[in-house]
Amino acid sequence: MSYPNQNPYGPPPGQQPGYGYPQQQPPSPYGPYPGGAGMPGMPGMQPQYPTVMPGGVKAARIMMFVLAGLNVIGLVLAVMGLGGVSKASHNASPYAAQDDIMAMNIGKGLLIAVIVVIVVFTALAITLAAQFANGGNGVRIGSIIFGVATIIVSFFSFPIGLVHTVLGILVLVFVSKDDGNAWFNRPRY
């Protein structure tokens, strides 16, 4: 067996220069591959993050808009109820029992608290659902907290709040799944 010539003055005659050494690639006139900044991607490989909003996340977004719509209907009914209780308290006889007047005032206070909660949940649902397309992990965490809070609050009005309970559970499940996690943790440019 013979080994290559160990000539320190250059390659042996007839051999290509740089033989056995890694070849340098000339820079591409088209820029780097879209797979990453400076990292060459392999053709045919799929990106590790979703480029289109997954179906479960779209469904959760729609359910949050539906919850906001239902909250607006509840808001209208609560304001009408507050108007009715307020009108009844103003039309009460001056000789009405003190307990009746106090009950009307407590009713007005409860209706005002319900209106505030409805307004907060409606604004939160619309804000979070609008951020699904470009929001990060904070939108996902906020949506999970919104789903849990919707479920808890809907238990206080259970027969009527059953729809809110079901939609809150579905929002919680769809946003918490792996495809939801991948969507909200994808890189943004």
pLDDT tens-digit readout, 92-148: 766 667 777 777 778 888 999 999 999 999 999 999 999 988 878 889 999 999 999
pLDDT tens for 53-96 read 888 899 999 999 999 999 999 999 999 998 888 887 777 766 66
pTM exceeding 0.75: no
Q: Determine the Cα–Cα distance for residues 28 and 113; give it in Å rounded to an integer.
A: 64
Amino acid 119: pLDDT: 95
Q: What CA–CA distances, in Å, run from 33 to 23, 38, 48, 52, 186? A: 20, 8, 15, 20, 19
Asked if residue 32 lies in contact with residue 40, where contact means CB atoms within 8 angstroms, the answer is yes
